[in-house]
Structure 1
Amino acid sequence: MKQQQQPTSLVSSILAVSFAPSSNVNAYPQSNANKVALKLANAIKFKTISQDDPDIKTDYQPFTDFIQYLQQAFPVLHSHLNREIINNYSMLYRWDGSNPALKPFFINCHYDVVPVDMSGWSVDPFGGVIKDGYVWGRGSIDNKLIVISAMEAIETLLNRSYVPERTLYLAIGHDEEIGGYNGHKMISAHVQSLGITAEMILDEGIPLLQAGFLPGLNTTTALLGVNEKGYVYFNITATAPGGHSSMPPSQQSPIGILAKAVTAFESNPLPPPNSTLYPNQFLDQFTQQQIETIPFLDYMRRTTTTVTMFRSGIKPNVLPTTATAWISHRVVPGDDVDAIIERNNRLINDTRIKVIIDAKLPPSPYSSPAAKPFKAVKQCIKKIFGQDVNVKSGLMFANTDTRYYWPVSPNIYRIMPCVVNSQGLAMLHGYNEKLAITDLVKAVSFYQHIIRKFNNIDLDTTITDID
C-alpha cells in the first residue's frame, strides 16, 4: 500500500460537495442511494479522456487526480486491500481470501472515457449532474459505473466485517477506449508473471436490454457475454498519375480505382458461419426472419464489413495521385481472420491497389455457459434485477480488455449491470449518457452478491438477501 497523498484542490473540492437528496430512488434506502450517486457524480468530473487522435495529446493529470479521488472516497477499501499502480495510471487491487487453496477471481473495468461533442449535450458532460433520478455525464455507464459500484460493494462488505475465503482482484485499466495496450495489457502481463490463474474474470459487456428493446424481445434480457468478435483493420491505397483537371489522363483515376474495390466489399458481405460451432442462446429466441432483418441481431451472427474512411484529393481542379480507404471487419467466432484477408485480396484483384493490414485479432475463446461461474453470475443477475429477467449466453460484439486475459482463465464473462431501452445503447459513446440511480444501487448489490457467491468453494450455495 503506497503512502496516502494529500488531496489536490480539485479532489478536495469534490469531496466537500453535497447535493439535495433525489426523490426518485424507488424502494432503495435513500441514504445509500444518495451516497453512491454522489460518488459516481464526482468521479465523472475527472476528464479522464483517452485520445485516439495522434494530433491531440492525452492530459494525464485528471488520471492521477482520479486515482487520488478513489483513495479518498473509499478509505476503508484502501486500508484493507493491497493496491499496485501499474504503468502509472492503472490499478490492481487484491483482497486476500482466507483460503489460499481457492483460485481467485477478477472484476475488471476501466475509468477512461471517449471524447465528447459538446454540441449535443443538454448538461455539462463532466459536470457530475444529478437530476430527475439520474446521474448524468460521460462515463456514468461506460465505465465508471463498474469502478464505483464494485468499490462501493467492497467498502460496504468491509464495513460489515466481511472476510472472504476466495481472493478477489479488482483490475482497473486507464486506456481501454484506445485498445488497453498500456493498461489491462500490462496488468495481465503482471498477473501472468506471478503465475496467477483465475476461477473467473467478469468484465464490462452489454447492459440488460429492457423488454421491447427489439421486436420479439418481450422480457427484460441479460445477454451474458461468453465470447466476443475479433477484428481485421486494413487500408487500401490506389495510385495513378495526377495533373490538372482540364487535361485528365486516359487511365482511370485513383478515386475510380478505389471506388470499384469499395463497392466490391459492400456488395459481398460475408455469410454467417456455422452457428452450431458457437451456440448463442440470445439469438436462439428469435425467428430466422427477425435475425436476418433486425440489424442488431444480424451483425451478431456474421462478420461485418464497414468502410470507415476515404481520403483523396487536395483541390477541386487538381487530379489526385492517391486515394486511400480504411476497411474494418469485426470477425464473428467461426470465421478465420487469415481467410478473410485472402478473400479481400481476391475481391480487390487489382495490382494498382496496395493493401496494408493495420491490426488483427482472432475472435475470443468460448467460455461455457454450462460452467459453474456462468451459473453463479446468472443467479446474481436474477437475484438483483428480478427473477423474471431472461439471462442468455451470447456474443459480445464489441472488443473489451478481456483479450489480454485469455491465458488467465477459461471462464471470462461480460455484463454491464444496468438496464437500457432502445435508445440507451447510443448514449454510451454518444450524447446525454446517464444512469438511473436505482440501477446504480442495483449494481452495488450485484457486485456484493457476486463477491459473496464466489466466496463459496463450489459456487453452489444459494446466498441470502443483503440488507
Structure 2
Amino acid sequence: MKKLLFIILGILIILVAVLLIKMYTYPFKKNTAGNSEGWKPVKNDSAVMRLSGGIKIPTVSVGSLGEFNYAPFDQFKEYLKASYPLVYQNTENNEVNTHALVFRLKGSDSSLEPILFLSHIDVVTPGDADVKNNDLNVFRPDDKPLPPVSKVAEDWDFEPFSGAVANGRIYGRGAIDMKGMLFSLMESMNTIIKSKKLPKRDIYLAFGFDEEVGGQKGAVQIADYFRKKGLHFDAVYDEGGLIMEKGNVAGIDSDVAVVGCAEKGFLSAKIKVKGLGGHSSMPPMESAIGKAAVIMQRLEDHQMKPTITPLIKEFFDNIGGAMPFSNRLAIANQWLLKPLLLSKLTKNNTTNALVRTTTALTMMKGSDGANVLSPEVEFVVNFRLLPGNTVKEVRAHIAKATEGFDVEVEDIDNTREASAVSPTNTKAYKLIEAGVKEINPGAIVSPYLTMAATDAYKYQIVSKNIYRFMPIKINSSEQQSIHSTNEYISIENYMKMIHYFEYMMTNYDK
C-alpha cells in the first residue's frame, strides 16, 4: 500500500511539474509598450463643433425601413457638404440608394487594392419610450408626432439632440454610436487633403443610413455597388471593439483594446405551443403555457455546447500573460484543464458569450385574461451564433427541445450565419496594433469576437480582411450609455480617434 501511495504521489508531482513548466513556457504574447507617452491630443474647437452640429440632427432609424422620417437624413447630407467642402471637392463622392454616402480619395498607385472605412449616419431613439424631438420633425411610422424629448431628457445631463459641449465632453445620441467615428473619418480625410500628402492606395469611406434596423437598404446596397464595380478591398474597418479601460476586464491590470475579427450570427425563433383552452375553473392537467414552460426550461438547461474557437484561443494567448496565475495555468494546459476552463468561462455572462452560441428567452404571449386558458402560447428565443455553429444546427437544437409537443416554429428578424473570421497576420491588422500604440501605448491589443451585429458583415463579398474596432478608451458606465441615456464622447477620445484614423490612412503602405 505504501509503495502504491509513493507511486501516486510521484505521478502527482510529475503532473504538477508538467503543468507549471507548460505554463511558464507557454507563448503568451508579450505586451510591448510603444512610445512611452503616446500622442498627446490637442483640442480642435472647429472639429468639436462640427461633430456637435451633426449630433443636433436627429437621424433616427426605427421600425422597418421606409417608415421613418427621411428629412433629417437629407439635412445631414447638406450639413456634411457645408462642413467638409475640401473632401467633397477632392474626392469622387456618390449617393447609394439616396441616403448612403460613398467617398473615394484616389491614391498614387492604382494597382494596389483600396482600403475602406465604414460608419453609419443613423442613431437609435434617445430613450426606451421611442421619444424624439417634435421640433426637429421626427415622427412615428404612423406619422403621429411623438411626445417631446423632454419627457425622456430627465435622465440625460443635456437634451439628447443638443450636441452640448461641456465638462470636456460632447453629449448627445450618436456621440459614440456612431457619429463620433463618422466625423473623425471626415476630419482625417480633410487633414490628408489639406496636407497634400496623398496615400499610395485609394481610400474609401462608406456611410450607411439604416444600420440600427438591419442595414438592408444602406450597407447591403453599398457592398453590392462595390461588387458590381469589381472592387476588392485590402481591408475594411468598422465599429465593434473598443479600448476597455484598466480594471474593466476582470483580472487584467491594463487597458485592453479588443479588435473584432468576427461577429456572431443571429437567429430569433417564434415558437407557438398548442394546448387546450377554456376557463381556468376546469383546467387540463397540462396547459399550453405549462408546455411552453417545459420547452423554455429545456432550452435554458441544455444549451449548445461551449467550445474555445481558434479566435478565442488567440484572444487568451494575447491577454493570458496579464491574467492571474490560475487563469494562465488553465489556458496553458488545455490538454488537461479545458473542461475546468470552460466551466469557469460559462459561469460569467460575458465570457460565456465568447465560447458558445447563447440562448436568450426574450418575449412571451398567452392569455389576456386572468381566468382564461389560452389554446396557444408563443414565445421568442434569440440565439447568437458562435463561428463554427450554423443556423441548421440551431434549428436542430430547437427541434430537440420541442420534441413531444405540438408546436410551430418560425424564424423572425434577420437570420444569418456567423461571419467569417478575419486573419491577424495581415498588414491591415498589424496597423491597428500600431495605431493603438500611437494613442495608447500601454494597451494590450487582441483579436476578439464581436457579440452584436454590425454593417461590416455585409462587406464579406468585397474583402476577406474585415476588422471591427473603434479607437476610444471607455469605462463600463460609458459603454452602457451606448443605446441608453446620457451618451457622450470625451473630447480627448474624439481628438485621439481623429489622429488614429489619420495615422491609419497615411501609414498603410509605409
Question: TM-score normalised by the shorter chain: which range applies?
Answer: 0.7 to 0.9
TM-score by length of 2: 0.80
Letter in 2 for 1:99: D
Separation in 1, partners of 2:163, 2:251: 36
Measure how far apart 1:445 and its partner are.
0.3
User: Secondary structure in 2 aligned to 1:191?
Assistant: helix
Separation in 2, partners of 1:82, 1:197: 17
Measure how far apart 1:152 and its partner are.
0.5
User: Secondary structure in 2 aligned to 1:256?
Assistant: helix
User: Secondary structure in 2 aligned to 1:186?
Assistant: helix
Percent of matched pairs sharing the same residue: 28
Q: Between 327-336 and 187-196, report the one with greater CA deviation.
A: 327-336
Q: What is the alpha-carbon root mean square deviation over aligned residues?
A: 1.9
Letter in 2 for 1:436: S
Separation in 1, partners of 2:300, 2:266: 17
1:126-179 deviation per Cα after TM superposition (whole angstroms, max 9, x unaligned): 111111000111100011111100000111111112222210110000001111
8 Å CA contact 1:369, 1:393 repeated in 2: yes
Q: Is 1:46 matched up with 2:57? A: yes
Q: Which residue in 1 is equivalent to 2:338?
A: none
Give the unaligned 5+ runs of structure 1. Answer: 1-25, 462-467
Q: Is 1:35 matched up with 2:56? A: no
Measure how far apart 1:274 and its partner are.
4.4
Separation in 2, partners of 1:27, 1:84: 35
Separation in 1, partners of 2:347, 2:314: 17
Separation in 2, partners of 1:428, 1:76: 31
Q: Between 290-299 and 118-127, report the one with greater CA deviation.
A: 290-299
Q: Which residue in 2 is equivalent to 1:323?
A: 377
Which among 434, 441, 444 is matched to residue 390 of structure 1? 444
User: Secondary structure in 1 aligned to 2:196?
Assistant: coil
Letter in 2 for 1:45: K
8 Å CA contact 2:42, 2:495 repeated in 1: no
TM-score by length of 1: 0.87
Which among 239, 244, 261 is matched to residue 279 of structure 2? 244
Q: Which residue in 2 is equivalent to 1:431?
A: 485
Aligned CA distance change for structure 1 residues 445 and 282 (closer, same or farther; 3 Å)? farther
Q: Is 1:256 matched up with 2:290? A: yes
Aligned CA distance change for structure 1 residues 277 and 453 (closer, same or farther; 3 Å)? closer
Q: Is 1:269 matched up with 2:303? A: yes
Separation in 1, partners of 2:393, 2:67: 37
8 Å CA contact 2:312, 2:448 repeated in 1: no
Measure how far apart 1:320 and its partner are.
1.8
Rg larger in 1 or in 2?
Answer: 2
8 Å CA contact 2:276, 2:284 repeated in 1: no
1:389-447 deviation per Cα after TM superposition (whole angstroms, max 9, x unaligned): 11111111111111111121111111012111122221111111111100000000011
Q: Is 1:373 matched up with 2:436? A: no
Separation in 2, partners of 1:282, 1:365: 20
8 Å CA contact 1:211, 1:221 repeated in 2: yes
Q: Which residue in 2 is equivalent to 1:76?
A: 86
Measure how far apart 1:249 and its partner are.
4.1
Q: Which residue in 2 is equivalent to 1:309?
A: 363
Q: Which residue in 1 is equivalent to 2:179?
A: 144
Q: Is 1:232 matched up with 2:267? A: yes
Give the unaligned 5+ runs of structure 2. Answer: 1-38, 128-151, 328-340
User: Secondary structure in 1 aligned to 2:476?
Assistant: coil
Name segments (4+ residues, structure 1) moved above 6 Å.
none
Bigger helix fraction: 2
Q: Which residue in 1 is equivalent to 2:104?
A: 94
Measure how far apart 1:116 and its partner are.
2.1
Q: What is the correspondence of 1:285-364 to structure 2 with a 5 Å cutoff? A: 285=320, 286=323, 287=327, 288=341, 291-358=345-412, 359-364=414-419
Letter in 2 for 1:379: A
Q: Between 42-51 and 268-277, report the one with greater CA deviation.
A: 268-277
Separation in 1, partners of 2:287, 2:193: 68
Separation in 2, partners of 1:125, 1:297: 32
